[in-house]
Copies of this chain bind each other. A is one copy, B any other.
Amino acid sequence: MSRPRAKLTNTFPGCPVESALSFIDGKWKGVILYHLMTEGTLRFNELRRRVPSVTQRMLTKQLRELEEAGLLSRTVFPVVPPRVDYALTSRGESLRPVIMALKAWGDKNVLCDGERMTLKPLKAKSQVESENA
C-alpha cells in the first residue's frame, strides 16, 4: 500500500477499522472532536485555548481536514473582528461512541501527569471490587 493513510482502501476484513481511524488520524483531530462533542459549537480561538499546545497553523489544518471529511461545519460571520464557528455535523456527531470509548480507555489506562505519559497498573478484580465497595 503506497497510498497515504487517508486513501487506504483495500478490501479486507478489518478495513473498516482502518478507514475509520483514517478520519481521526492527525495529531489533533481527536481532541478537537472531543471538545466539540462536550462543549458544542466553538470559535477558532476558543478551540485554541482548549488545546494549548497546538499552533495556529496546525489547528487550521486539522479543522480544514475535518471539514473536508464532512465531520464538522465552518461558519464564517462577515464581521470585524472575524468570527468563525465550528460545529459538528451529524456525521461528526456519529463519531461520539468512538471518541467516548477512547476517552474512557484513556481515563482508565493512562496517567496524563503533565510531564510523562505513563500507563496505570492494571487492577486485579479484588481491587476493583474494593474500590466500588
Report the interface size class on chain A: 35 or more
Complex Cα distance, B13 from A30, in Å, reads 12
A106 to chain B, nearest CB (A): 3
Q: Are A113 and B11 in contact (CB under 8 A)?
A: yes
With both beta carbons as reference points, the residue of chain B lying nearest to A29 in the complex is identified as B21
Q: Mark A3-39, 1 if CB is under 8 A from B, else 0.
A: 0010111111111111111101101101101110010
With both beta carbons as reference points, the residue of chain B lying nearest to A6 in the complex is identified as B117
Q: Which of A7, A31, A116, A119 has the most CB of B within 10 A?
A: A31
Q: Mark A102-128, 1 if CB is under 8 A from B, else 0.
A: 111111111011111101001000000
- Known pairs A50-B14, A52-B12; A19 contacts B117 (CB<8 A): yes
